[in-house]
Amino acid sequence: MNEIGELCILLSLGISIYSTIVPILGIKRGREEYIASAENSIFVTAGLITISSVILTYAFLNRDFSIEYVANYSNRDLPLFYTVSAFWAGQKGSLLFWSLLLSLFAAVVVIQNKNKNRDFMPYVISIISITQCLFLLLMTFAARPFELIYPPEDGSGLNPMLQNPGMVFHPPTLYMGYVGFTIPYAFAMASLLTGHLGDVWIKTTRRWTIFSWFFLGMGNLFGAWWAYRVLGWGGYWAWDPVENASFMPWLTGTAYLHSVMIQERRDMLKVWNMVLIVLTFSLTIFGTFLTRSGVIQSVHSFGQGPVGYYFLAFLIIAIVFSSYLIVSRLSILKSNNELDSIVSRESSFLFNNLILVGAAFATFWGTMFPLISEAIKGEKVTVGPPFFNQVNIPIGLTLLLLVGICPLIAWKKASISNFKRNFLIPFIISIIGGIALMPIGKGHLMAWLSFTISIFVITTIVMEFYKGAIARRETTGEGFVKALITLSRKNKRRYGGYIIHIGVVLMYIGITGTSYNMEKEATLKKGESMSIGDYKVVYKDIKNNTPVPTKAEVIATMDVEKDGKIIATATPRRDFYKTAEQPISRVYNLSGLKEDLYIILAGFQEDGSATFKIHVNPLVKWLWIGGLVIGAGTLIAMLPDWKGKK
Write down the number of H helices and E strands in the chain: 22, 10
Helix (H, G, I), strand (E, B) or coil at 565: strand
The confidence score (pLDDT) of residue 487 equals 83
Q: Which tens digits make up the pLDDT trace of 478-491?
A: 888 888 888 888 88
Answer for the pair 88, 97: CB distance below 8 angstroms, yes or no.
Answer: yes
Please provide the size of the chain in residues: 646
- Tell me what the mean pLDDT of segment 538-548 comes to: 88
**For 138, which DSSP code?**
I
Q: What are phi and psi of 611, to 5 degrees?
A: -105, 130
The confidence score (pLDDT) of residue 293 equals 72
Helix (H, G, I), strand (E, B) or coil at 257: helix
Rounded Cα gap, residues 416 and 208, in angstroms: 38
Kindly write down the DSSP assignment for every residue of 265-320, as one continuous string. HHS--HHHHHHHHHHHHHHHHHHHHHHHH-SS--TT---SSTHHHHHHHHHHHHHH
Maximum distance among all alpha carbons in the chain? 85
Least confident piece of the model among 6-15, 324-333, 612-621: 324-333
CA 172 to chain centre: 10
Amino acid at 15: I
Least confident piece of the model among 161-170, 371-380, 417-426: 371-380
To the nearest 10 degrees (0 to 180), the angle between helices 270-293 and 241-266 is: 160
- Tell me what the mean pLDDT of segment 440-451 comes to: 92
Answer for the pair 253, 312: CB distance below 8 angstroms, yes or no.
Answer: no
Helix (H, G, I), strand (E, B) or coil at 520: strand
Kindly write down the DSSP assignment for every residue of 587-629, as one continuous string. -EEEE-SSEEEEEEEEEE-TTS-EEEEEEEEETTHHHHHHHHH
123/349: higher pLDDT: 123
Q: Where are the extended beta strands (E) located within 448-587?
A: 518-524, 529-532, 535-548, 551-562, 565-570, 573-577, 584-586
Pick the closest to residue 40 from 103, 135, 110 (CA basis). 110
Nearest 10 degrees: CA dihedral of 490, 497, 175, 271?
100
* Termini Cα distance of the chain: 50
Least confident piece of the model among 93-102, 435-444, 450-459, 614-623: 435-444
The secondary element (H helix, E strand) that includes residue 351 is: helix 345-377
Rounded Cα gap, residues 262 and 346, in angstroms: 6
Instruction: Please list the residues that pair with 613 across neighbouring strands.
Output: 521, 600
Q: Which tens digits make up the pLDDT trace of 245-269?
A: 999 999 999 999 999 888 888 778 8
On the question of pLDDT at 644 being above 50, the answer is no
The confidence score (pLDDT) of residue 613 equals 95
Least confident piece of the model among 178-182, 629-633, 638-642: 638-642
Pick the closest to residue 67 from 3, 137, 11, 162 (CA basis). 3
* Percentage of the chain lying above the pLDDT 90 cut: 61
Instruction: Please list the residues that pair with 611 across neighbouring strands.
Output: 523, 603
Rounded Cα gap, residues 376 and 471, in angstroms: 63
- Tell me what the mean pLDDT of segment 294-318 comes to: 75
Sign of CA dihedral 262, 268, 271, 272: negative
- In SS3 terms, 175-222 reads as HHHHHHCHHHHHHHHHHHHHCCCCCHHHHHCHHHHHHHHHHHHHHHHH
Amino acid at 179: V
Q: Which tens digits make up the pLDDT trace of 600-617?
A: 999 999 888 999 999 999
Cα separations in angstroms, 447 against 225, 234, 376, 385, 393: 22, 19, 38, 17, 10
Q: What is the CA radius of gyration of the chain?
A: 27
pTM of the model: 0.92
